[in-house]
């Protein structure tokens, strides 16, 4: 079977975005910017949007359709033609319109999944692509699942001897039956603590708790996004620094970007790097490179690669750290599909490292095309 690239000279890329998670709108923003920089002489784009209720539709190729309007994030247009993603008889993925005689829109060479959160970034879509034997950008099934679930991510980091902050996992049944015991465990962490959904991103559902009387409401807010909740010790006067990681080319070792730091304008009313500061009001400032001692920068970059390898990540990852007042560094989390607009931290880190946005997208696609399908 000849691939679309062999037939037309262009690589057919299915850009998949939207999805069922609370990060739907962020995914649409990412897709718009990625589609904008894909070279039409080299890539044929097939934009596949997933609606909030889980339907696949053939979306617009016009990136202008996806923009923040009056503070509202964009959505996949549920009124557009529904399509099906299915394995072809010869292997690979076919995008087709259902019907008595389905109209096949064509095989794809590679899938670029730009989904954030559950039902896309967590290994579910990756499993479908593995079953179809199609190449795709980013982490595989296991790494995606571990990277999405903060509990198991932290267990993997602990096994790799990466330093972390203490935390408590709050499962729904234990919270409903033994809330007093959970409160005691949280109190032992010391205040403040941060309460967050175990499997969500973009700071959705996160609350800072300075008094135990606030804990129940914070858990309820986190559970509105995920039944499983993580409560993590807070960092007083800590600095939030981040580092991007890319899979090495031609089987080489993973590479770390320069290190950046996130600061929040204290007059803006944000207690931490929350969703509004990230995407809406622009009160988060990114300092790249971060003003850190050279030895600390080296430590963060080395630990970022260790975290990437600890979960068997592929393609890309952004690793977040806290630099504590005593000079120590602790790893917070890894994101296997980080925010990817040009103003997001990950692309900015790599631009400062010498890989501009369009080249970064191209490198990720080439990495995906380079690696084989199946077990590896």
DSSP assignment, residue 65?
Answer: G
Give the tokens for residue 57: 């539709």
Cα distance between residue 112 and residue 363, in whole Å? 12
pLDDT of residue 83: 86
Most distant CA pair in the chain: distance in Å? 67
User: Can you give the pLDDT at residue 204?
Assistant: 81
Please report, for residues 73, 145, 336, the alpha-carbon distance to residue 119 in angstroms, rounded to integers and kept in the order given.
19, 10, 14
Q: What does DSSP assign to residue 109?
A: S
Residue 309, SS3?
A: helix
Q: What are phi and psi of 214, to 5 degrees?
A: -90, -10
What's the pLDDT score for residue 270?
Answer: 44
**pLDDT score of 274:** 47
Q: In whole angstroms, what separates CA 162 from the centre of its chain? A: 21
| Owner of token pair 């890989």 | 355
Could you tell me which residues come within 8 angstroms of residue 338 by beta carbon, excluding any fewer than 6 positions away? 244, 316, 317, 318, 344, 345, 346
User: Is the backbone peptide bond immediately before 347 cis, with ω within 30 degrees of 0?
Assistant: no
Q: Which domains does the chain have, with CATH numbers?
A: 4-136 (3.40.50.20), 147-163+237-370 (3.30.470.20), 167-233 (3.30.1490.20)
pLDDT at 281: 47
pLDDT score for 244: 98
Q: Name residue 170's beta-bridge partners.
A: 229
**Tens of each residue's pLDDT in the chain, 376 residues:** 556 666 678 999 999 999 998 889 989 999 999 999 999 999 999 999 999 999 999 898 887 888 777 778 889 998 888 888 777 776 677 788 776 565 666 688 999 999 998 889 999 999 989 988 889 999 999 999 999 999 999 999 999 999 999 999 999 999 999 999 999 999 999 999 999 999 987 678 999 999 999 999 999 999 999 999 999 999 888 999 999 999 998 888 999 999 999 987 666 554 555 445 454 445 678 999 999 999 999 999 999 999 999 999 999 999 999 999 999 999 999 999 998 988 899 999 999 999 999 999 999 999 999 988 888 7
Q: With beta carbons less than 8 A apart as the criterion, state whether 275 and 205 touch.
A: no
Listed in sequence order, the residues at least 6 apart from 189 whose beta carbon sits closer than 8 Å to its beta carbon are 166, 167, 168, 231, 232, 233
Residues in the chain: 376
249-286 burial: b if 16+ Cβ within 10 Å, else e: eeeeebbbbbbbbbebeeeeebebbbbbbbbeeebbeb
pLDDT given at position 3: 65
Taking a C-beta distance cutoff of 8 angstroms, is the pair 283, 210 a contact? Answer: no
Cβ atoms of 226 and 262 closer than 8 Å: no
pTM above 0.85, yes or no: yes
């Amino acid at each position: 079977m000849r691939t679309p690239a062999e037939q037309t000279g262009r690589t057919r890329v299915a850009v998949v975005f939207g999805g069922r998670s609370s990060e739907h709108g962020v995914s649409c923003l990412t897709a718009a910017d990625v589609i904008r920089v894909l070279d039409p002489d080299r890539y044929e784009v097939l934009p596949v949007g997933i609606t909030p209720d889980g339907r696949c539709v053939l979306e617009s190729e016009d990136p202008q359709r996806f923009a923040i309007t009056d503070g509202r994030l964009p959505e996949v247009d549920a009124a557009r033609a529904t399509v099906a993603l299915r394995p072809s008889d010869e292997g690979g993925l076919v995008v087709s319109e259902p019907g008595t005689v389905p109209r096949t829109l064509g095989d794809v060479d590679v899938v670029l999944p730009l989904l954030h959160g559950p039902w896309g970034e967590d290994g579910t879509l990756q499993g479908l692509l593995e079953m179809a034997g199609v190449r795709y950008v980013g982490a595989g099934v296991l790494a995606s699942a571990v990277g999405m679930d903060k509990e198991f991510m932290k267990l993997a980091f602990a096994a790799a001897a990466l330093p972390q902050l203490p935390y408590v996992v709050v499962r729904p049944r234990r919270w409903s039956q033994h809330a007093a015991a959970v409160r005691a465990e949280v109190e032992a962490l010391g205040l403040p603590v941060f309460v967050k959904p175990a499997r969500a991103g973009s700071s959705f559902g996160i609350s800072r708790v300075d008094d135990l009387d606030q804990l129940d409401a914070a858990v309820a807010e986190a559970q509105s996004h995920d039944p499983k909740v993580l409560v993590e010790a807070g960092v007083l006067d800590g600095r939030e620094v981040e580092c991007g990681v890319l899979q090495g080319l031609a089987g080489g070792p993973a590479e770390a970007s320069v290190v950046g730091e996130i600061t929040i304008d204290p007059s803006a009313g944000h207690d931490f790097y929350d969703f509004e500061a990230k995407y809406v009001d622009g009160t988060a400032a990114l300092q790249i490179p971060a003003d850190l001692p050279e030895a600390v920068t080296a430590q963060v970059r080395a630990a970022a690669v260790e975290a990437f390898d600890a979960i068997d990540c592929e393609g890309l990852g952004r690793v977040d750290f806290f630099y504590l007042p005593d000079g120590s560094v602790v790893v917070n989390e890894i994101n296997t599909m980080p925010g990817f607009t040009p103003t997001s931290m990950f692309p900015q880190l790599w631009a400062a490292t010498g890989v501009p946005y369009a080249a970064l997208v191209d490198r990720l696609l080439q990495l995906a095309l380079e690696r084989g399908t199946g077990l590896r």
